[in-house]
Amino acid sequence: MVTHMATVALTSSGPENARRYREVMEQLGTEIRLLIPEDAGTRPTDVLMEGVGGLLLPGGPDVDPVLYGEPPDPSAGLETCRPLDDLELRLLHYALDRDMPVLAICRGMQLLNVALGGKLIQDLPGHRVVEQDGEWVSTVHLTYLSPGSKAAAIIGMAGFFRLNSRHHQGLREAQRSLRLMTTAYGVDDGLVEGLESPEHRWVIGLQCHPERQDEVPKLFANLFTAFGERADAFAQECLA
């Protein structure tokens, strides 16, 4: 196993929401700096990101529609956390300005789209967790990952995958930022399931939850390995 010395910034609404992401990265030898609004909200961005080699934006609450110029839909059942939005947006712009590696998952991918001028669909049926036998479980969707995308190269395979789904917001091509390219989409509904930035060396967004490693193909673990390696390389560049 390759051991990384890099520090990755992981944002979250709280420690429990960050747990799975933290465990996956720390198992790879990557040090995690957890940044939550209560602790980090008033501290300067350059202080929060000092010595950091990559930014991991995880799943979490809904992005405030005001940030993409729309009033909240009262029927959408939104659960927002504006302090988290504000923290993540300034950290993301800091990372993008420096071409720092970014891995954006679920809400993270949605925030990436909004940060670069895109919009979101405030409520989508059939994509959130469902209750089965007293437990909340992920729904599953058939997703097509494009050959030639960075994600496919990292995973080692393109084509069709059955992936987990735990969201009720998302986007189609009409909502996509013109600065991002679609790398994966839902076969049944055309929802965007993957985004990448052609302006940056390593900015990858996925709508699924690869940190829930028993719910996605094993090859998807390569995403976290590659992200840790790129974060390490970025940190070494900054020291050179």
* Tokens (6 digits) for 121: 């669909």
Rounded (10°) CA dihedral 173, 174, 179, 182: -10
Above 80 in pLDDT, residue 136?
A: no
pLDDT tens digits for range 74-112: 999 999 999 999 999 999 999 999 999 999 999 999 999
* 3-state secondary structure at position 220: helix
The candidate with the shortest Cα–Cα distance to 67, out of 22, 20, 111, is: 111
Q: Are 200 and 99 in contact (CB under 8 A)?
A: yes
Model confidence at 53, pLDDT cuts 50, 70, 90, reads: very high
Beta bridge mates, 195: 182, 205
DSSP state of 146: P
Cβ atoms of 230 and 202 within 8 Å: the answer is yes
For residues 144 and 184, is the Cβ–Cβ distance under 8 A? yes
Q: Which residues contact 231 (CB under 8 A, 6 or more apart)?
A: 4, 6, 7, 8, 30, 52, 53, 54, 101
Q: What is the pLDDT of residue 70?
A: 97
Q: Which tokens sit at 177?
A: 């930022």
pLDDT at residue 1 in the model: 45
Complete domains list, the chain, with CATH: 7-239 (3.40.50.880)
> To the nearest whole number, what is the mean pLDDT of the chain?
93
Sequence-ordered list of residues with C-beta below 8 angstroms from that of 44, at least 6 positions apart, any chain:
none
Instruction: Locate 38 and state its tokens.
Output: 């209560």
Going by C-alpha positions, the residue among 165, 158, 173, 153 that lies closest to residue 206 is 165
| Catalytic residue (one of 193, 211, 215, 229) | 211
Rounded distance between C-alpha atoms, residue 176 and residue 148, angstroms: 19
Q: Which of 4, 81, 88, 106 is catalytic?
A: 106
155: phi then psi, degrees, rounded to nearest 5: -65, -30
106 is catalytic: yes
pLDDT at 127 over 70: no
Choose the catalytic residue: 81, 127, 209, 229.
Answer: 209
Q: Determine the average pLDDT of the residues in 187-203.
A: 96
pTM higher than 0.85: yes
Local structure of 76: helix, strand or coil: coil
